[in-house]
């Protein structure tokens, strides 16, 4: 068993509910214990850092200080929380004056941060600690034949953390492949989906979402997987807006990587929050279940034979 | 009087701005460069030329998607994404009014939600945002009405809870923020 402090992020309770549910559901079968950081606050995300850059570091620091009490790595399934907490952490570790000022502020809540916490994304934990080999040994149903476009988005790979290539990453591809599925060629796998500007500048960013769907579809993907709740919402909820605007007819389900792993582990679709997906993942589920039925029938035949 | 360049250089991400060689890799990599009044390379040149008002009143940094492509590709380690965030913060703190983009009110609604709950309540944040751009919505009623089905779909898929989650430490969080401002102000 491997132990981590867990930072779900605000999205995991709302727009990214499927991510929160599936991340927790796959933990135990993969021998991870994700202990939720008690009374965590929002990391601040891009908006806080944009309106008050330094203040946002103090907001993120409360979480780092809470995590330091337990001393375990702080793992988040959200790409935005990951970049925000990592960046704040690095600023505090590299700037002793800022750290001292933040600590003066944290002291009003009886907290203190020394800079010892490691912030990690669940994708890198799955890849580096749990390992694709070990996940492969634990899956119940191989997803053989399922064609998937692995969509990294931006903040899992950029700025450069040194954990994967910043433009042509492979981590998510390996996680998809260890489940038996095929990771299709997807040249736009680390290009931007429009981020939070879909809300304020939809007209200007809808084309970015379209390019991603187009690239995935042209390469034969049956669905996309991503770890990022904002990417998922943009690709999933805005897919009908893309279709209306560009006269296209995309119907590509967008799953969280944790949902896909959960399906391969044999976890019930509902526990993985599959019913929170807007573009119905029915065809993907049918593909998996039909294959399971086929395999179990054939196993029976083999035994009889 | 502190120069504009020094002002930007003193921000957490602005310290490498002098390393820029104006190669334009940032602008070439930016998915939003076409929407900006001044694309990233030009903004950096303008900061170094001390064009404070022109830069801070522009819409450029508000179109940054934080995709970090420019930062990953910059051959000089300049971090234009961080500079964009620094410019947004400076423009917000000094009360610059920016026309032609609704991103500043979106960000304010987001931060407001964190300050009152300790976490972002997405539905509340969205409502507050749409109310803040109400005059614009009224002038584009068709576009506004088209947003409703999207919100409804998210709601029906349990992705927009009605009630916010409030953390116990939200009082602590406010105190931390207040104290931090005080400490930074004294230094």
Beta carbons of A158 and B67 less than 8 Å apart:
yes
- Looking at the partner chain, which of A58, A160, A275 has a beta carbon nearest the beta carbon of B177? A58
What pLDDT sits at residue A277?
97
Separation in Å, CA of A13 to nearest CA in chain B: 8
Ramachandran sector of residue A168 (left: φ over 0; alpha: ψ -120 to 50; beta: rest)? beta
Beta carbons of A205 and B65 less than 8 Å apart:
yes
Instruction: Verify that B25 and B78 share a domain, yes or no.
Output: yes
Instruction: Verify that B20 and B80 share a domain, yes or no.
Output: yes
The CATH number linked to B55 is 1.10.1060.10
The reply to whether B165 touches chain A by the CB within 8 Å rule is yes
Apex CA A165: angle with CA A159 and CA A171, to 5°?
A: 110
Beta carbons of B12 and A98 less than 8 Å apart:
yes
Quick one: average pLDDT of B116-143?
A: 87
Last residue of one domain, picked from the residues B93, B118, B144: B93
Closest chain A residue to the Cα of B96, Cα to Cα: A51
Q: Which of B67, B105, B112 to mutate to test the interface with A (most CBs of A within 10 A)?
A: B67
**Domains defined along chain A, listed by start:** 2-122 (1.20.1050.140), 141-297 (3.40.50.11810)
What pLDDT sits at residue A300?
61
Pick from A279, A274, A261: nearest CA to A21 = A274
Q: What pTM was estimated for this model as a whole?
A: 0.95
Pick from A168, A158, A156, A127: nearest CA to A30 = A127
Instruction: Verify that B13 and B78 share a domain, yes or no.
Output: yes
CB A2 within 8 A of CB A32: yes
Query: Residues 6 or more apart from A23 whose CB is under 8 A from it?
Result: A6, A8, A12, A34, A77, A122, A256, A258
Q: Is it the case that residue B153 has pLDDT exceeding 90?
A: yes
Separation in Å, CA of B38 to nearest CA in chain A: 16
Q: Which domain holds residue B176?
A: 103-186
Instruction: Verify that B74 and B115 share a domain, yes or no.
Output: no
Q: What is the pLDDT along chain A (305 residues), one digit of tens a residue?
A: 999 999 999 999 999 999 999 999 999 999 999 999 999 999 999 999 999 989 999 999 999 999 999 999 999 999 999 999 999 999 999 999 999 999 999 999 999 999 999 999 999 999 999 999 999 999 998 999 999 999 999 999 999 889 999 999 999 999 999 999 999 999 999 999 999 999 999 999 999 999 999 999 999 999 999 999 999 999 999 999 999 999 999 999 999 999 999 999 999 999 999 999 999 999 999 998 888 888 788 766 555 54
What pLDDT sits at residue B185?
85
Q: Which of B13, B25, B180, B183 to mutate to test the interface with A (most CBs of A within 10 A)?
A: B180
Beta carbons of A108 and B176 less than 8 Å apart:
yes
CA distances from B170 to A38, A56, A59, B163, B176 (A): 13, 15, 11, 16, 10
Apex CA A244: angle with CA A240 and CA A246, to 5°?
A: 115
Beta carbons of A197 and B71 less than 8 Å apart:
no
pLDDT digits (tens, 9 = 90+) for B24-80: 999 999 999 999 999 999 999 999 999 999 999 999 999 999 999 999 999 999 999
Total domains, chain B:
2
Instruction: Verify that B14 and B77 share a domain, yes or no.
Output: yes
Beta carbons of B180 and A167 less than 8 Å apart:
no
Beta carbons of A51 and B177 less than 8 Å apart:
no
């Amino acid at each position: 068993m491997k132990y981590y402090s867990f930072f779900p992020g605000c999205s995991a309770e709302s727009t990214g509910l499927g991510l929160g549910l599936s991340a927790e559901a796959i933990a135990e079968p993969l021998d991870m214990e994700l202990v939720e950081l008690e009374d965590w606050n929002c990391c601040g995300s891009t908006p806080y850092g944009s309106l008050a850059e330094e203040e946002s570091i103090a907001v993120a620091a409360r979480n780092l200080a809470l995590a330091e009490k337990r001393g375990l790595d702080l793992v988040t399934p959200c790409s935005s929380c990951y970049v925000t907490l990592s960046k704040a952490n690095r600023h505090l570790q590299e700037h002793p004056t800022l750290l001292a000022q933040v600590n003066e502020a944290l002291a009003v809540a009886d907290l203190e941060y020394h800079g010892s916490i490691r912030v990690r994304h669940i994708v890198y934990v799955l890849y580096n600690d749990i390992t694709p080999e070990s996940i492969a040994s634990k899956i119940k149903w191989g997803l053989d034949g399922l064609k998937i476009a692995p969509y990294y988005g931006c903040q899992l790979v950029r700025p450069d953390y040194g954990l994967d290539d910043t433009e042509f990453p492979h981590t998510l591809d390996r996680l998809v492949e260890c489940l038996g599925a095929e990771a299709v060629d997807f040249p736009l796998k680390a290009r931007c989906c429009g981020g939070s500007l879909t809300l304020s500048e939809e007209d200007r960013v809808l084309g970015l979402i379209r390019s991603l769907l187009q690239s995935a579809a042209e390469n034969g993907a049956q669905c996309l997987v991503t770890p990022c709740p904002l990417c998922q919402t943009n690709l999933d909820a805005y897919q009908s807006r893309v279709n209306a605007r560009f006269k296209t007819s995309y119907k590509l389900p967008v799953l969280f990587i944790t949902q896909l792993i959960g399906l391969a582990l044999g976890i019930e679709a509902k526990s993985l929050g599959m019913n929170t997906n807007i573009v119905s993942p029915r065809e993907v589920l049918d593909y998996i279940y039909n294959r399971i039925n086929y395999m179990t029938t054939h196993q029976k035949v083999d035994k009889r034979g | 009087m502190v120069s504009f360049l020094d002002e930007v250089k003193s921000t957490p991400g602005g310290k490498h701005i002098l390393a820029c060689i104006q190669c334009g890799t940032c602008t070439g990599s930016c998915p939003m460069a076409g929407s900006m009044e001044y694309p990233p390379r030009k903004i950096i040149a303008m900061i170094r030329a001390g064009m404070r008002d022109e830069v801070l009143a522009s819409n450029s940094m508000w179109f940054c998607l934080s995709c970090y492509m420019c930062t990953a590709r910059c051959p000089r380690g300049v971090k234009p994404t961080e500079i964009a965030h620094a410019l947004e913060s400076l423009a917000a703190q000094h009360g610059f009014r920016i026309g032609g983009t609704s991103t500043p009110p979106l960000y304010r609604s987001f931060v407001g939600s964190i300050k009152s709950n300790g976490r972002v309540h997405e539905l509340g944040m969205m409502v507050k945002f749409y109310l803040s751009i109400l005059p614009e919505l009224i002038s584009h009623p068709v576009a506004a009405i088209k947003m409703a089905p999207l919100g409804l779909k998210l709601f029906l898929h349990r992705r927009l809870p009605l009630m916010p989650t409030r953390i116990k430490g939200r009082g602590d969080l406010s105190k931390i923020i207040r104290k931090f401002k005080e400490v930074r102000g004294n230094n």
